Amino acid sequence: MKNRFNKILSYFDNLSFKYKTSFLVFIIAGGMICIVILSQISIFTIKGDFDILFDKRTKSLIKLENIKDTYKVNIQDTLKDMEQENITYNQAKEVLQLAQQLINKNWESYKKEDSIKNDEFITSFIKKFILKDENIDENIILKENIIKNINQKMLQIKSKLNKININDKRDILSQLNLEINAISIYITSLINYDLSIAVNEKRNTQKVFNTIIIFSIFSIFIVFLFSVILSIIIIENFKQLHNTLELKVDEKTKELTELNNYLETKVSKEVAQNRKKDIIMFQQARLASLGEMLNNIAHQWRQPLGTITMIIQSFQIKMSLGKLTDKYVDEKVQDALLLANNMSNTLDDFKNFFDPDKVKSKFEIKNCIEHSIDLSKYLLTKENIHIELVVKDNMKINSYYNELSHVFLNIISNSKDALCSTVDKDDRIIKIIVNKYKNQAIINMLDNGGGIPSDIIPKIFEPYYTTKYKSAGTGIGLYMSKQIIEKHMNGSISYKNIVHKIKDNKNYNCSLFTIKIPIDSGEINEQ
């Protein structure tokens, strides 16, 4: 039993939520309908019973009572009056006839009412179902007998009354009295019988009522029980659902945090990688300019080296010819030392150039630019580029000398490339103009290389952007320049295309780089 119950419960548990709720709704609705139907039935049953009791029993009883009264009062009294001759025979006859008519009428209506069957289907069905027709059969026979007797007696009284005449009224009258008494007894027993039936029916009604009440209470209880059970199951289901949902949410949250962590580490990794890339990029840029610089060093060294070699050999030659004089040796050694010193300076220049500045230093901006021009002189002369430096305001600034020089070199190199690819050998000009505006040193660097196409201008300061063939540029120079000027020196660098009379009052399409570097105010005062 318990097993089965558990089975059913588990079956319900396993039902999907949708079925459970619809089942609950079904149960509640079904229960409600049941209860409503039952209450309706009981009300109708009771009402029907009441109607029957009133109509069939009470009314018929009244009619029987009337018949009895008519016999007793009208007929017996009239007969008595006639006997004592208080009334005339004809009068009596008339009264008797009237009484008989009344009796007939009442009797007929009684029989009629009695024969009316209870034809309400439901109530009779339920009654049949509940009462199972206990002792009604014999009672009906009894009743029929009584009614038969009454009919006989009535016919006898009728015939005797018709036989009444003025002559021998005593006999007939006494007989009639007896008959009337007998019929009174019959009618009384019929009344009793009807009453007993009424009582019986009343009891039946009570029974039906009780049964229905019990049934409805029972069904209410069952509906209530089912509802509670289902509600509990559904609440359990809710809880379970809630739990699983919570579990799922927890799981997803965990997944999300994991993903978040992963992303975080990835982002930090990427950032680190980016930083590394930046460093590599700067190194690349440094290497690229190193290559360029090496060319410069090589050329700047080659000439004095050749001369020194020549001087050394000249000693040998002169000696072999016997022409090696003190004066000659002095002169040549002097020259050789000078050259060697120059070579050493060149080396220092380049070495400093590749040494990153760790501290700011005071220097004249003019010197820095001149130095940068010197460093790139070899390439500029080789490409026949004329470089012009106009210093309107020379000033000392407090900044990173080598880095700034790097920037100048980058831009000069950029201009050089532009000039080489676009301009005739005779017209290649780079012009550098230095002046002061408020607290800033402004360096304008122009070249007549035709400028940069306007759709490219926004990209020129981006890393790895290059218009040159792969071998010619790394695409880092201007990016690095911007980084140096903006991040290290708090300055700014910008570019635009202009038209400028750079030479011979002729208009040229020029590119213009403008570098603004703040002058350390303390340094100006010192100056």
Partner 1 sequence: MNNKDLNILHDFNILYLEDDENLLKHTTDVLEDFVNNIYAVKTVNEALDILLNKKVDVIVSDILLENENGIDFLTHLKSKNINIPTILTTAHTDTKYLLDAIKLKVENYIVKPINIKELLNSLHDILLPIVQQKELIKNNNVIKTISAITDSKQVEIVKFIINNLDNENLFIASYTDIMEEFSISKPTLIKLFKELAEKNILVKVQHKTYRFNESSLENL
Which residue, 177 or 314, has its beta carbon nearer to partner 1? 314
Interface ranges with partner 1 (CB under 8 A): 299, 302-311, 313-314, 317-318, 320-321, 323, 332, 335, 339, 381, 384
First and final C-alpha spacing in the chain: 110
- Token couple for 201: 């029916």
Q: How far is the CB of 474 from partner 1 (least distance, A)?
A: 25
Nearer to partner 1 by Cβ, of 335 and 520: the residue is 335
Least CB distance to partner 1 at residue 312 (A)? 9
Rounded Cα–Cα distance for residues 71 and 515 (Å): 146
Q: Which residues pair with 508 in a beta bridge?
A: 500
Q: What's the sign of the alpha-carbon dihedral 256, 262, 266, 269?
A: positive
Is 192 or 309 the residue whose CB approaches partner 1 more closely?
A: 309
Closest CB 384 distance from partner 1, rounded Å: 7
Least gap, CB of 310 to partner 1 (angstroms): 5
Q: Is 481:410 a contact under the CB 8 Å cutoff?
A: yes
Q: If you ran DSSP here, which 8-state letter would residue 425 be given? A: G
Q: CB 305 → partner 1: shortest distance, Å? A: 6
By beta-carbon proximity to partner 1, the closer residue of 335 and 370 is 335
- Other beta carbons less than 10 A from residue 123's beta carbon: 21
Query: At residue 334, what are phi and psi to the nearest 5 degrees?
Result: -55, -50
- Find residue 510's DSSP bridge partners: 498
Nearer to partner 1, 309 or 490 (CB): 309
Task: Look at phi and psi of residue 505 and say left if phi exceeds 0, alpha if psi is from -120 to 50, else beta.
Answer: left
- Nearest approach, Cβ of 308 to partner 1 (angstroms)? 8
Task: For partner 1, give the closer residue by CB, 265 or 295.
Answer: 295
Conformational region of residue 451, where left means phi above 0, alpha means psi within -120 to 50, and beta covers everything else: left
**3-class secondary structure, 426:** helix
Output the smallest distance, CB 299 to partner 1, in A.
8
Amino acid letter for position 9:
L
In the bound state with partner 1, the residue whose beta carbon lies nearer, of 59 and 377, is 377
